[in-house]
Amino acid sequence: MKTLLIIFAALLVHDTVASDHWAFQPVRRPEVPVVAGLVSEANPIDAFILRQLGEAGMGFAPEATAERLIRRMALDLIGLPPKPDEVEVFVKAFSSDPERACSALIDRLLESPHYGERWGRHWLDVARFAETDGFEHDAVRPHAWRYRDYVIRSYNDDKPYDRFICEQVAGDVLWPDEPQARIATGFNLLGPDMVDSADQEQRRLNRLTDMTDTTALAFVGLTMGCAKCHDHPFEPITQREYYGLQAFYTPLDFNDAAPVYTPAELSSHKMDLARYESRAEVVALAAFDMEHRPAGRKLSHKAYLKTLSKDEKAARDKLEESARRYKRPELPAALTVSYPSGPWRKTRLLNRGEYSQPREVVPPGFPKIVPGDETRPKDRRDLAAWLTDPGNPLTARVMVNRVWRQHFGRGLVATPSDFGVTSKAPTHPELLDWLASEFVRDGWSLKALHRLILSSKTWRQAVVDSPDRLLYRGWLPKRLEGEVIRDSLLEISGRLNPAMYGPGVMPPIPAEVFKGASGWSPSKDSADHGRRSIYIFARRNLRFPFLEVFDAPDSNLSCSARQESTTAPQSLTLLNAADVVEAARQVAESLPKNTIVASAYRRILGRDPSAEEADLAERFLQRSPAKELCRALFNLNEFVYAY
Amino acid sequence: MEPTRTTRREFLRSAGAGFGAVALSAMLEREGLADAPEAGVANPLAAHGSHFTGTAKNVIFLFMSGGPSHVDLFDYKADLIRLGGRPIPDSFGEFKTRRKVAKNNLLPPLRPFHRHGQSGIEVSEWLPNIAGCVDDICLLRGCHGDSVTHPESVYLMNTGSILMGRASLGSWSAYGLGSESENMPAFVVMPDPDGWVKGGAPAWGNGYLPATYQGTILRGGATPILNLNNPRGVSAAQQLETVNLINQLNRNGLRQGEQDSPLAARIAAYELAYRMQSHAREVVDVSRESPATRRLYGMDEAVTEDFGRRCLMARRMVERGVRFVQLYCGDTLGWDGHSKMDSNHSELCARSDLPVAGLLKDLKSRGLLDSTLVIWGGEFGRMPMSEGADGRDHNPHGFCMWMAGGGVKGGQVIGATDAVGLRAVEDKTHVHDIHATILHLLGFDHTRLTYRHHGREDRLTDVFGRVITRAIA
């Protein structure tokens, strides 16, 4: 009887709840409401927001000041504060034509290569990006950074989001000749991996589980994990459907170092190699080996070394030492997935999720909750097509909500990676649908979406006494991520190294953190210590302390929304950490002696101090040095929040 | 909101709890701004409040990194002596090992065992001092886990899953209980100074719980907590001046009509940070303890000095309201006696036996043992057969842990392994059961202490775990 009830309940979930659930309904582009007080050519976002505000007897708060707007926009779009002269120019332009000034500023910021470094980071959270395996050895994945660079490039190029998805899901089969598309498939391999597991079948299953779950969370906001062991208790997802999704991945080869190069890279590699091989020292070593290597026998390098006499070995060591001055050029390689040349593995439904309990074979398939093509999918090309079909009700909604959340600090849907039956309904369902439809209509352009949101009155409101969080009255200061705080410190103190891309860097970390841990050797070139935080080597078992204390995710599971905690260790960090102290010292040294207070405010907070603030600061300077004033300003709410 | 004097004082007091988290949550609730990014329900930063009155208020988890040998320390097996030098009988069937030792000869216990206390529980000669405390100890001889490797087992013992990314037991406890302390974090970790446990920091990570609940690493000496000291060249007086300026400017910011709760909470966090600067140093300053107490922990002997100091620091933290203290005994290799077990375990027993017993006695004499749960154990035990000539491989199929204090009934043994100590067979307690029991002693129903993550009410024990009711007094 109990079983019958459960089956009945499950049927109910599948047939009734699923078909009624808002997120599974097709996106219908709603009419933009006509709202009193808005001109007809107004930003549609404002019409939707103002309608609900009006129903609650409220209206928009006044617009933020020009100084606040430029700082807010810059922190939001590129993750760096504006320079004092940029503020000055903008304030002037804003006073004559605010719309034009803002629009030009948004364009400039979106064109900045720093944009990809800022927004790529949001995606790396979702993608659980790290550059090590985790577990005991936490071994380095020497090519993982290429995925990070791929993401930054994609954002900077305003790659259409549907293409971005297709590349990550099936780049290897859709565009086999494009290295970037193959690098994109590394997305599937970014999770932790117990390489030396005692049970390699279990290890492979863990990776497949990780990629199945992450695909569903990242692209369509479905929390499929529960259905690995049994039909999903809340969502209309059966266990069979779970393995149907996994079946797209089951046959894959996981490549740690697949060569990924363009014809141009190959020819330049050949030239580099020729140059390397013509170096006198390299030639000398090769000649030595040619002479001493026993002919006619296949020997490993180690075995060959054993054939040398002591003197010969010493001579060779010397030659090798000199040759080591040059690094043997290598072709670019990346983490990728690909189909095997041999037969494909089949997927079986696993009872209770245990690989020791295989049941029937399950072919690739899509969760039925989403109306899709009825043809039988074969491989990841079909999965990519299904995910990016404009008729898929989830993909565009999920992404516009992610972007909205990053801009406002809260989503129209509160749970960015969970649009399932038990998620909370959107606060502005019609706006969400309108944005989703507009996003697709604009060719899945993220930059167009940013422009749309940042051009709205809604986003430009000032901080007010009585804000309304859910109805979007007034701006709520938004806590900046550790990356933005650290990068701002570097930028303001003139130490930011704007170099982009390449292998991760290791700025020094305090000795006491490192004690007992392993795997961190600060980059030799100190210029690398001032690189933007997105380039800091992402080690799973030793997070960079400055970022960790400000809620950087642990990168083991997909993270759709960082926590925003307020803790005493954060205060200790901003008060005492070497990064902050050094930044304060450098800024203080460059301040003109006669305008210390005003200059410090402009440099650090992008505005002039009020009379009261100037007075407090002047009195402080009677007993304390300027670097202490700068240290204090770096600790203000205004520095770690976007106002 | 303009914080009045009274509400500000209240607010600052609550700011101590959960490292500022409770302050934030209180403010958020007052403002009606509570936001749970992933949850969409209650504020994730609010301390949960226990489900019933727990018997334990604090936990000290003595983690024996590397996997101590139960058959040489706490699980006396006459048959292991009898069958020593021969392979394990076929009747034991197949089992997983890390290093293919299944067919090797059985290795008898390396030390004799004796009965101790009124309970008469057998303990090996390697642990004479802990043996003297058996009547306070509830010995779990039927423990088992899921993996034969270190990191997976370390994660399982600490986070309830062999995979990475889950929240640790200490984080869950801090999440549930908040902190009693005004000036200290709720969950403190003291790694072995010679190296971290295999698997590293995720063993005390917050997983998907707010960062507030992650284990704060605390060391002895002048910089017990990262960034605790004033910057070089900045005097205490200057630091106070600067912090005052920060708070004044931040407060002025609030007055200008930009008051928003997390911003106000940041002011509290600065005051808390400032207080922590002196308190954390005071906590680790064991020079204030009497010579007799320091001797009790073995601080007068080189071999026991380090672990004794950390055990004593653990007691001082518990006294000052830290909820969960985890100490690691053994460096990255630790108790991992794949070879030369005798010298490996001799050394680690010598380093830890006296300090652990000293901690139990000291807690007891101060009346703290009743409310402090002490847990001893590693990520697994070791195999009854030998590895090489003189080592033992990992054994997650059967091993020992023990609990004392905090409402646990001492002087008893629960569970048993088979004749040679290979597998848990009677009254088995899986790691999930131990977690369920620890949460129960702290006043939580492990099935109800949950956090919404990826669409699911996640919990420490996943879908498993049974409270070991016999362990409870």
Tens digit of each residue's pLDDT (9 = 90 or more) over A352-393: 999 999 999 999 999 887 665 567 899 999 999 999 999 999
Whether the per-residue pLDDT at B293 is higher than 70: the answer is yes
What is the number of CB-based contacts under 8 A between chain A and chain B?
250
% residues pLDDT > 90 (chain A): 83
Which residue in A637, A638, A641, A643 has the most chain B C-beta atoms within 10 A of its own C-beta, making it the best mutation to test that interface?
Answer: A637
A212 and A318 in one domain?
A: no
Burial track B78-96 (b if 16+ CB lie within 10 A, e otherwise): eebeebbeeebeeeeeeee
Q: How confident is the model at residue B47 (pLDDT cuts 50, 70, 90)?
A: low
Q: For A428, phi and psi rounded to 5 degrees?
A: -135, 75
Indicate which CATH number applies to the domain containing B447.
3.40.720
- In the chain, the amino acid numbered B330 is G
How much is the average pLDDT of B17-29?
A: 35
B122 three-state secondary structure: strand
Residue B245 touches partner A, C-beta closer than 8 Å: yes
Cα distances from A338 to residues A183, A189, A212, A333, B446, in angstroms, run 11, 11, 16, 14, 43
What is d(CA A503, CA B27) in angstroms, rounded to the nearest whole number?
Answer: 43
Say whether B165 and A641 touch across the interface (CB within 8 A): no
Within a domain: B14: no
A614 and A581 in one domain?
A: yes
Distance in Å from the first CA to the final CA of chain A = 59
Q: How many folded domains does chain A comprise?
A: 3
Segment A60-113, tens digit of pLDDT? 999 999 999 999 999 999 999 999 999 999 999 999 999 999 999 999 999 999
ipTM of the complex: 0.89
Whether the per-residue pLDDT at B49 is higher than 90: the answer is no
A360 and A215 in one domain?
A: yes
A496 and A526 in one domain?
A: yes
How much is the average pLDDT of B132-155?
A: 97
Say whether B225 and A564 touch across the interface (CB within 8 A): no
Say whether B35 and A563 touch across the interface (CB within 8 A): no
Residue A135 touches partner B, C-beta closer than 8 Å: yes
What is chain B's length?
A: 473
Whether the per-residue pLDDT at B19 is higher than 60: the answer is no
What is d(CA B363, CA B314) in angstroms, rounded to the nearest whole number?
Answer: 10
Which residue in A135, A223, A478 has the most chain B C-beta atoms within 10 A of its own C-beta, making it the best mutation to test that interface?
Answer: A135
Query: What is the signed CA dihedral for B48, B49, B54, B59, rounded to 10 degrees?
Result: 50
Residue A581 structural domain: 477-642
A308 and A253 in one domain?
A: no
A366 and A303 in one domain?
A: no
Residue B333 structural domain: 55-228+273-471
Say whether B246 and A632 touch across the interface (CB within 8 A): yes
Within a domain: A387: yes
Q: How confident is the model at residue B13 (pLDDT cuts 50, 70, 90)?
A: very low
What is d(CA A389, CA B152) in angstroms, rounded to the nearest whole number?
Answer: 40
Segment A560-612, tens digit of pLDDT? 999 888 888 899 999 999 999 999 999 999 999 999 999 999 999 999 999 99
Q: How confident is the model at residue B48 (pLDDT cuts 50, 70, 90)?
A: low
Residue A418 touches partner B, C-beta closer than 8 Å: yes
Q: Taking the CA of residue A372 as centre, how many other CA atoms within 13 Å lie in the half-sphere pointing to its CB?
A: 20
Within a domain: B349: yes
Q: CA nearest B20 in A: which residue?
A: A567
Residue A569 touches partner B, C-beta closer than 8 Å: yes
Cα distances from B179 to residues A548, B280, B323, in angstroms, run 21, 15, 6
pLDDT at residue number A566 = 82
Which residues of chain B lie closer than 8 angstroms to A410, CB-CB?
35, 37
pTM: 0.90
Q: CA nearest A198 in B: which residue?
A: B98
pLDDT at residue number B259 = 53
A642 three-state secondary structure: strand
Min CA distance, B136 vs chain A (Å)? 33
Segment B76-97, tens digit of pLDDT? 999 999 999 999 999 999 999 9
What is d(CA B436, CA B372) in angstroms, rounded to the nearest whole number?
Answer: 17
Within a domain: B237: no
Within a domain: B239: no
Tokens of residue A119, six digits: 């927004």
Residue B281 touches partner A, C-beta closer than 8 Å: no
Domain-ending residue, one of A369, A392, A415: A392
What is chain A's length?
A: 643
How much is the average pLDDT of A487-496?
A: 98
Q: CA nearest B1 in A: which residue?
A: A465
Within a domain: B336: yes
Q: Which of A604, A610, A590 is nearest to A639 (CA)?
A: A604
A298 and A201 in one domain?
A: no
pLDDT at residue number A372 = 57
Residue B220 touches partner A, C-beta closer than 8 Å: no
Which residue in A410, A559, A567, A631 has the most chain B C-beta atoms within 10 A of its own C-beta, making it the best mutation to test that interface?
Answer: A567
Q: Which of B207, B265, B231 is nearest to B8 (CA)?
A: B265
A280 and A237 in one domain?
A: no
User: For residue B118, what is the enclosing H or E element?
Assistant: none
Residue A415 touches partner B, C-beta closer than 8 Å: yes
Whether the per-residue pLDDT at A513 is higher than 80: the answer is no
How much is the average pLDDT of B197-213?
A: 89
Q: CA nearest A569 in B: which residue?
A: B273
Q: Which of B107, B113, B142, B143 is nearest to B392 (CA)?
A: B107
A253 and A277 in one domain?
A: no
Q: Roughly what angle, to the nearest 10 degrees, separates helices B21-31 and B5-16?
A: 140
Say whether A197 and B151 touch across the interface (CB within 8 A): no
Min CA distance, B451 vs chain A (Å)? 13
A351 and A312 in one domain?
A: no
Which residues of chain A lie closer than 8 angstroms to B258, CB-CB?
463, 477, 643
Residue A88 touches partner B, C-beta closer than 8 Å: no
- Across chain A, mean pLDDT equals 93
Name the range with the highest mean pLDDT among A282-296, A503-517, A542-556, B379-393. Answer: B379-393
A170 and A243 in one domain?
A: yes
Which residues of chain A lie closer than 8 angstroms to B216, CB-CB?
569
Q: How many folded domains does chain B comprise?
A: 1
A302 vs A500, more confident: A500
Residue B147 touches partner A, C-beta closer than 8 Å: yes
Say whether B207 and A556 touch across the interface (CB within 8 A): yes
What is d(CA B155, CA B203) in angstroms, rounded to the nearest whole number?
Answer: 6
